[in-house]
Amino acid sequence: MQPQDFGFEYQQKISSRTRSLRVHIDRFGQVIVTTPKRYPQSLLHEFLTQSSEWIEKHLALYRRRSRVDEGNAGAVLYYGAPYHIEIQLHENGPTIEQKDSHIVVRPISPTPVSCALAVERWLKAEADRYMSKRIHELAKEMNASFSSLHIRDQSTRWGSCSASKRLQLNWRLIQAPKEVIDYVMIHELAHLVHMNHSERFWAYVERFDPAFLIHKKWLRFHGAALHKDFRNNPAFRSLK
Ligand SMILES: [Zn+2]
C-alpha cells in the first residue's frame, strides 16, 4: 500500500527506544509515525488505516491554524479563517457583506472606530445566531439540559456554567474554528454532570470531543488574537 492511499503523506521514524507505535503532527504539519525497529509494514498500514480519520482531522486544523498565523494583519477571523477587509463608503451603512475570501465593511463614517464597531456588531450577531442553535444540538447529543444561555463579552473566559445550570459563552469564539467552538460548548455542558475539572470530567469531555486536547491548545495559542481590539486593525488604521 502506498502512502497516498491514506490521503496524506507521512514520514516514518524508527526508534530503538520505543516499543509501540506513535503518530503525531509536527510543527510543519508533517505526519510523523514513530515505530519500533523491524515493525511489520502490514501492522503499520493497519494502524494508519484505523487512525486516518483522526489524522485528517488534525491536519485540517493544523492547516487552518497556520493560515491564522501567517501574519494576517488587516484580516478578521471568522470561524477560524482570516477574511481580508475591504472598506467601502456607502450612505446606507453600516453593513457588512461576506464574500468568498474577504468581507466588505461599509461603516457609518470612515473612521477606525466606526469600522471596528461594524465588524464587532456583525460578529456578535453571528455568534448569537450560530451558538444558540449549535448548543441545542450538542446538548441533545449529550442528553444534557441547561436553564439559559447568555452570549456575552467575557474578557477572561470562553464560557462558564453555574450551579443553576446557566451557561455563558464568549461571543469572540465565533472567530475560532467550529470544532473549537464545539469544544467550549461540550466543556460547559459537561460541567452539568461534573462541576469540576477532575479526571472524570475530562474523560466525559473526551467522549463527545475525542480531539479536545488539540482544541484546548488552539485556544491557548490563539486566545490573544481573538481578544484583539478591532480598532487597531491595520485595515482601518489608514483611515485615521
Ligand atoms: Zn471548566
Same domain, 174 and 126: yes
Where a domain ends, among 69, 99, 125?
69
- Does this model's pTM top 0.85? My answer is no
Nearest Cα to Cα of residue 226 among 160, 168, 156, 138: 156
Q: Over its length of 240 residues, how does the chain's per-residue pLDDT go in tens digits? A: 344 467 777 888 888 887 778 777 776 677 888 888 888 888 888 888 888 887 887 777 766 665 554 445 578 899 998 888 888 877 676 788 888 888 888 888 878 888 888 899 999 999 999 999 999 999 999 999 999 999 998 777 899 999 999 999 999 999 999 999 999 999 999 999 999 999 999 999 999 999 999 999 999 988 888 888 888 887 777 675
Cβ pair 229, 237 in contact under 8 A:
no
Q: How far is the CA of 188 from the centre of ligand 1 (A)?
A: 6
- Order of strands, edge to edge, in the sheet holding 10-14? 10-14, 31-35, 22-25
Q: How far is the CA of 186 from the centre of ligand 1 (A)?
A: 10
Same domain, 193 and 101: yes
Q: Amino acid identity of 17?
A: R
Q: What CATH code is carried by the domain that includes residue 84?
A: 3.30.2010.10
Same domain, 228 and 195: yes
Where a domain ends, among 42, 69, 96?
69
Nearest Cα to Cα of residue 121 among 105, 135, 109, 136: 105
Same domain, 60 and 92: no
Q: How far is the CA of 197 from the centre of ligand 1 (A)?
A: 6
Residue 205, all three cell numbers: 469531555
Residue 210, all three cell numbers: 475525542
Q: Amino acid identity of 71?
A: G
Whole-number Å distance between alpha carbons of 96 and 76: 12
Phi then psi dihedrals of residue 186, to 5 deg: -60, -40
Instruction: Provide the domain count of the chain.
Output: 2
Same domain, 138 and 213: yes
Q: Which residues contact 217 (CB under 8 A, 6 or more apart)?
A: none
Same domain, 64 and 140: no
Where a domain ends, among 15, 42, 69?
69
DSSP H stretches of helix in 96-196: 112-141, 178-190
Q: How far is the CA of 21 from the centre of ligand 1 (A)?
A: 32
Instruction: Determine the structural domain holding residue 135 and report its residue range.
Output: 75-237
Same domain, 203 and 221: yes
Same domain, 18 and 85: no
Q: How far is the CA of 158 from the centre of ligand 1 (A)?
A: 9
Quick one: DSSP state of residue 92? T
Whole-number Å distance between alpha carbons of 61 and 21: 23
